[in-house]
Amino acid sequence: MDTSRPIIALDLPSARDALDLVARFAGETLFVKVGMELFYAAGPGIVSQLKDAGHDVFCDLKLHDIPNTVRGAARSLARLGADLLTVHAAGGRAMMEAALEGLGEGGGSASVVAITQLTSTSPEALRSEQLVEVPLVESVLNYARLARSAGLAGVVCSAHEAADIAAATGEGFLRVTPGIRPAGSAIGDQARVATPGTAASMGSSAIVVGRPVTRAEDPVAAYHAIMTAWRTGSDA
């Protein structure tokens, strides 16, 4: 899994839109993310189509159910050829272990990363809705350690949490970071953003970029500029 390439989030409404975008990168092998919007609109076949076109596919479906169901879901995703997938750490150790078992049964070699606390969860909601009394960062680190002990490959986290997670879990545990914005670009609905260069220097091990590529006038040029900043650690 080559994470020196930014992962492009294909948050698009149809298979046609996704395949048209990817086709603009003629001859390039991409790492793309299929999330709920595209997966539910286009169906599982979109994963196979992207794989058949030679791309690596991150299935960001944030699995969270009883272990037996997650095991079956992971088995199905493995058979589709997914290279990376997400589960919610809140589902617990047994559920995360079941995801790994399901992957093995499906013959896949995917890595699994955990969602800790969603970045949309505020410290206030953590306390009043989840009745979690520890600071948000403690809850994130707790879930990261749990995911590691269950055998997962890493977590999804903001660049701002990456160094703390590396300190708590070790360098080899992946920190996959969305919320990336090139220097000077629109933030949109993201709150805790980082540029590709700062994400690299803050300890992220992979970056996920959606709208700065998919909505760019020239997606290919935007992608290459982000890749250069990510690889060099410099946004200049």
Of 5, 11, 169, 207, the one binding ligand C5P by CB under 6 A: 11
Q: Does 9 bind ligand C5P (CB under 6 A)?
A: yes
C-beta of 157: minimal distance to ligand C5P in Å? 8
C-beta of 193: minimal distance to ligand C5P in Å? 8
42 half-sphere exposure, CB direction, 13 A CA radius: 23
> Is the Cβ of residue 62 or residue 231 nearer to ligand C5P in the bound state?
62
Output the six-digit token pair for 207. Answer: 């970056």
Q: Scan residues 97-126 and list those touching ligand C5P (CB under 6 A).
A: 118-119
Of 106, 154, 179, 197, the one binding ligand C5P by CB under 6 A: 179
Question: Coil, strand, or helix at residue 73?
Answer: helix
- The single residue listed with the structure tokens 């196979």 is 48
Q: Does 210 bind ligand C5P (CB under 6 A)?
A: yes
Question: One-letter amino acid identity for 222?
Answer: A
Question: Coil, strand, or helix at residue 34?
Answer: strand
> Is the Cβ of residue 179 or residue 197 nearer to ligand C5P in the bound state?
179
Q: Does 161 bind ligand C5P (CB under 6 A)?
A: no
Backbone torsions φ then ψ of 94, nearest 5 degrees: -60, -40
Report DSSP state, residue 29: P
Q: Does 49 bind ligand C5P (CB under 6 A)?
A: no
C-beta of 233: minimal distance to ligand C5P in Å? 19
CB atoms within 10 A of CB 118: 11
Q: Does 154 bind ligand C5P (CB under 6 A)?
A: no
C-beta of 185: minimal distance to ligand C5P in Å? 10
x-or-dash pattern for ligand C5P, window 72-101, by CB under 6 A? ------------------------------
- Residue 62 annotated as catalytic: yes
Q: Using CA atoms, how far apart are residues 130 and 124, in angstroms rounded to an integer?
A: 10
- The single residue listed with the structure tokens 């540029």 is 195
Beta bridge partners of 35: 60
Q: Using CA atoms, how far apart are residues 206 and 175, in angstroms rounded to an integer?
A: 6
**Cβ contact 110:84 at 8 Å:** yes
> Which residues of this protein are in contact with ligand C5P, per CB under 6 A?
9, 11, 35, 118-119, 156, 178-179, 188, 190, 208-212
**Residues with catalytic roles:** 62
